[in-house]
Amino acid sequence: MNRIGIGYDLHRLAENESLVLGGVKIEYNVGLEGHSDADVLVHALIDALLGAAAMGDIGQHFPPTDEGFRGIDSLELLRRANNMLAGERCQLTNADMVIIAEKPKLAPYIDQMRSNIARVLDVPLNRVSVKATTTEGLGVCGREEGIAAQAVVMLEKCAPPGPAGHEAK
């Protein structure tokens, strides 16, 4: 059975913060504020994955109130979420993601972002798509107050059907 999930994340840009997107540290004059490394791309992906599996969201499993997650590499959170999916016998069919930011230009980093995500999810690179777009100066991202990301995923749920056509738990 195929399952579709969507995810969205937005973090504020601030001075004295690192800019990490898709596990790539990007040299820039500002970065993203957050409890973890504030990687909006990976956070949106985690929400999409968990949503597709009907397993809640990133805040439920990795809450910002838990000091154990302060400053954590979001690729580690992705690895943990992927392990949760594996426990439910779910496998990524494909992920399509978009980063919404006026600056910096992200094209030079996209291939590394895709590679990082595919490696952590243990899937072929051709199952992971990352794009970047602007908002033509409109809104929070357009005013360069923040960076957002959206993700859509398809999972193949591998658990065998239970009695009377219901999925096994």
> What digits encode the pLDDT tens for the residues 101-142?
999 999 999 999 999 999 999 999 999 999 999 999 999 999
- Long-range contacts at 108-114 (CB < 8 A, ≥ 24 apart): 109/21, 109/22, 109/24, 109/26, 110/22, 112/22, 112/23, 112/24, 113/21, 113/22, 113/23, 113/24, 113/41, 114/22
Spatial CA neighbour of 145 closest among 36, 43, 33, 26: 33
Q: Please identify which residue in the block is written with the tokens 């001075």.
A: 15
> What digits encode the pLDDT tens for the residues 38-94?
999 999 999 999 999 999 999 999 988 888 888 889 999 999 999 999 998 999 999
Domains of the chain: 2-165 (3.30.1330.50)
Tokens describing residue 96: 């399509």
